[in-house]
Structure 1
Amino acid sequence: MDTSEIEKSKAHITVEIIEYIPNSVVIKTILKKSTGNISVMSFDSGEGLTEKTSPFDTFAQIIEGDAEIVISGNSNLLHTGQSIVIPAHASNLVKPNGRFKMILTVIKSGYE
């Protein structure tokens, strides 16, 4: 069994897959394939992700709390239940707005 992914063929409460750890960003892999991956992340208050770019489209879903996702300089404040597509090759960063959890789905398609 691949222990880097969550258990298959078993129901999960998505928001409970990952816990908060003080002063940390925690990442848990749901699925990891050559064609893409799905991860759930928790961010403690004051924690975020630095600016980066990805060669692939990324779908970000907020599953608990609020977060600011800045894409190519444009700020987007997302709340629980909201999502956004981060286009391939666009600079992006995640700013904290208190504790929050999100799911990131990366689709590794052909050359974009």
Structure 2
Amino acid sequence: MDIEAGRTFSLAKELVAPPGCTVSSKLARPDGAPLGFALAAGTDISAESYATPKLVLVQGGTLELYGSGGEATTLGAGELAVTPIDVPVGVRTGVGCGYVEVNLGREAQMNEMLKAGEVLRLADLLPYQDGSIVNMDLAHNAGMKLALMSFDAGQGLSEHSAPGEAIVFALDGEATIGYEGEEHLIHAGENFKFDAGGRHYVRADKRFKMALLLTLGE
């Protein structure tokens, strides 16, 4: 998937599979970068086990994570789960689904809120605080970082750049993102991508929550 930086878009609308098919594609350039998956209605990816945990973040539709014993966990848009290590897990959907998968690797550090098999709604994980920006690191390893931020109205981040590509997931409210001299309005449910080194800022004229998935260099 070739996602152009510097525009507001919706992964929920772009992660769509042809009927009867499943599709996967890299969302950033570095090796180990997050993958975007699209499953058409009534499709599945059979259960497999991995030696490292994975983050699964649903963007649209409904997804079931299921084990070899038949047990299943259902996730909707804006919800996240962590897969267990060395336990077979498959994914399936009845209505169609788009989601982002991040392989955390062996050395990943995770927030204690993240527990394998539990479903979390990202927008509910951190509060607003009057006159402040609240930050929470959810997971990171040598190649990536997933963080949450909430902005009270009138708060923002001054212009800066990052060493790797980044994808913003707007979770609540709305904000203005400045990128390379242009401003873009972003609402809950929408996304924005920064290229490595791209100059950007965030201005929350209203209360705003977002997740930031940052790749840490090439």
TM-score in same-fold range (> 0.5)? yes
Structure 1: stretches of 5+ with no match in the other structure? none
- Name the SS for the 1:15 alignment partner: helix
How large is the RMSD of aligned CA atoms in angstroms? 1.4
- Name the SS for the 2:205 alignment partner: strand
Structure 1 residues 48-84: Cα deviation after superposition (integer angstroms, max 9, x where no partner): 0011011111101111000110110111100110001
Question: How far is 1:8 from its partner?
Answer: 2.2
**2:134 pairs with 1:26:** yes
- Name the SS for the 1:62 alignment partner: strand
Q: For 2:210, which of 97, 102, 106 is the aligned residue?
A: 102
Aligned identity (percent) is 26
Question: How far is 1:108 from its partner?
Answer: 1.9
Q: Could you say which residue in structure 2 is the equivalent of 1:79?
A: 187
The answer as to whether partners of 2:110 and 2:138 remain within 8 angstroms in 1 is no
Structure 2: stretches of 5+ with no match in the other structure? 1-108
Q: For 1:42, which of 150, 155, 163 is the aligned residue?
A: 150
The answer as to whether partners of 2:196 and 2:217 remain within 8 angstroms in 1 is no
- Name the SS for the 1:98 alignment partner: coil
Q: Could you say which residue in structure 1 is the equivalent of 2:26?
A: none
**Change in CA separation of 1:3 and 1:61 when aligned onto 2, cut-off 3 Å:** closer
Structure 1 residues 81-104: Cα deviation after superposition (integer angstroms, max 9, x where no partner): 000101111110001121010000
Partner Cα distance (1:33, 1:83) in 2: 22
> What TM-score does the superposition give when structure 2 sets the normalisation length?
0.48
More relative contact order in 1 or in 2 (CA 8 Å, sep 6+)? 1
Q: Could you say which residue in structure 2 is the equivalent of 1:7?
A: 114
The answer as to whether partners of 1:69 and 1:78 remain within 8 angstroms in 2 is yes
Q: Could you say which residue in structure 1 is the equivalent of 2:173?
A: 65
Partner Cα distance (2:110, 2:163) in 1: 27
> What TM-score does the superposition give when structure 1 sets the normalisation length?
0.90
Aligned residues: 109
- Name the SS for the 2:123 alignment partner: helix
**Change in CA separation of 1:66 and 1:31 when aligned onto 2, cut-off 3 Å:** same
